[in-house]
Structure 1
Amino acid sequence: MKHRIIVLGAGYTGASAAGRLARRLRREDVAITLVTAEPDFVERVRMHQLAAGQELRPRPFSQMFAGTGVELKLAKVTGLDVDRGTVAVVDANGPGELEYDSLVYALGSGWNTQGVPGTAEHAHEIAGRPGALRLRERLARLDAGQPVVVVGGGLTGLEAATEIAEARPDLDVALAARGGLGDTLSAKGRQHLRKVFDRLGITVHEHTAVTGVEADHVTTADGTSVPAAVTVWTAGFAVHPIARATTLDVSDSGQIVVDGAMRSVSHPNVYAIGDAALVKGPGDSPLRMSCASGIPTAWQAADSIAAGLTGGKPPNTPLRYFNQCISLGRREGLIQYVTADDRAVRAALTGRLAALYKELVCKGAAWGVANPTFGLPVRRRRVLQGSRREVADTKTGHDARH
């Protein structure tokens, strides 16, 4: 029987892992199923552009994975039993169940309301395509001069505020940040960021914690009311809740605890990648939730599974950072160079060249997902006899650590 590999989630990490597995293994030996709720690949790093009114190129999974041997399953994941090795799904035909021998968990993350009252009811999010489209529709209905408040001073907030301000210069755009504007950037990076915000007319509320969201304003910790016809909430991400409801070993944040191979420390036939995994990087610090972190973990997991099934050498994909790429509208950008553990150094690239650099990075990431088997060795490796049984036996959790 074929070894059954199921990949849950088809974002940057899940789609990359599925494609890489298809390239590493022979379809005569394995059955790879990619479970996704959406028929098209979503470029999450461009959701601020979609919200601001731009059109994005459609990337159907049916075309991306044609001829690869990867089976697409259009369904929503509703449950996971890691002890039985089953996934509960709902598709067009109703509820169903999928069985696996190896699982790649890549369900990613969504917006995090941080428990702030009124956020779920009144704020907009851009963590996914549906939220970005709802915000796009709302912004289109705003009259000139109406206020828009972006909450969150991280990279997503910076990109959202500048994109909206550039696309709609008639609106009164503001950013509320708990810290200083760009306080994790270098001096050069912060200086350029302020220059762009000033040019776009964005009001900045620094060292400001938003404690409540209403339909027409937000309230800050000191009791100040800031007008907001639209509130865009970008204050962090929260992982999909399904893992926490299982017997998997998860962190306080709900991320699956993995080893260096991206393998669950409690269930060795489960691999977690991207935002869904608690991955230690340089200096033993957890990797931040990002596309830059997620894709290398996808490669690591796929290569680890392939090595385990074929008797190959276990991989060691470097998990480190080189830069932070920030778009500041369509004409400006900021590339902040960082240490391996993601701390800013003095060097930064700014202006139009930085915008082009960021655009190339986005296009490259999407191209890599759309061409999932390009650039890997053509020779697929045969699964060793008995590998399916050996991996299936690990469902009980009886490995060397127990």
Structure 2
Amino acid sequence: MNLKLGSFVLAATVALSVNGCWQKTEQTVEVEAEMVPVLDVYAGKNEEKNLKLLVQAYEKENQDVSIELHWIPDSEYSQQMMRIKNGESEADCIFFPEAGEAAIWKNKKILKNLSPWYETKNQVNASLYGDVEKDGALYMIPYRVGKICVYYNKTLFDSRGVEYPQENWTWEDYREKAGILTGWGNNKKVYGALGFENSSSWWMLPARTRGAFDPFKEEDLKMFRESAEWCHAFISESAEKTPYMSRTDDDWSGYHILFAEGRLGMYFGEDGEVNTINQELRKTGMNIEYDVMELPSWEGTEKADVYNTAVVAMAEATKYPEETYRFMKFCTGEEGGKILAKNRTVPFLQSPEVLKIYLSGTQIPEHAEYFLMDQAPRGLAVGTLHNGGIEVMRREVSMYLLGEQELEYTFKTIEEELAKLRVR
């Protein structure tokens, strides 16, 4: 963290001699004030609008501190964290897109224990730490929550005569709708769904909605296997295979572009996609209607919601922990929640006033309430072991979805790799 010279302007009455005559005149004199702490705050580029609004409001109320924002490309979080760890970059506060990502860097001693300042005062917050900390140490505060839903193109559904998704719909309903929506329109390919992109974790969603979370648990791993098999069939039979890499590199910013063009029927996303889609529609002048629905479930089973929870943490190297914590508390508290809600972002803190602001300001999509948290997210803060297991599954299942290896071989390899991780 740095220090910045603050200054203020005084109006002073100065006696001047003009042509030998003395007269009084008012003159402005800049006087140096005390040094003001500058907090170095790091966050992903997708947090830019939210954080600029938060910082603007915070600095207006707290003129004894200045905040400098640093944006981290999604692909460079690890590099930036290592620069902070090695002392190459000064840091006070870090926003992470997922609690699991923060847990990795907590284990690498980059994050500061917040116990002297922060106490979990309700069960929702307590669940954030339950999977990681056994000694009462706290390293992150929930900032916003992203409940994953299905975005669907109402205009495309209408043109194909397909019924909109309804509450309690199933994954088989999803498969059927995707197949009917796929075809051609205005001499261009139209996709009901883009399948389960092989380098991501979207293929895990059918298992996650059954409650699967931990690949080291036999029951959960079985559900992940069944999910992979179902998604393989879905991609082969009901969804179009697309050149995934050309749609996920740095030159292509996301599924929302295809969606805004009216060429994509459904895709998965958090509430943050709303601002992105609406901006794309304004930019292109496209006239489509869309809405959101909760994730499908499996018939005869109770559905578990799937969340990504963004968190904020304090850097171990900060020289001004008190000032840093005050800023963190503002962002994650009632005032910060209202600011996020006005920007159509769902904060983790969902008080009645915050919810009222969010719902009254989000007319599109119509059913924005599906993004709200109606249960405590399960297992938000995970450690290196869990993340390692997820990465093993991601790597091996991607090869299976590409048709490069068989299901039996894929999960035999996964089990062997998980066993190695356990003994490290």
Give the alignment's TM-score, normalised by structure 2. 0.25
Greater Rg over alpha carbons, structure: 2
* Structure 1 or 2: more helix by fraction: 2
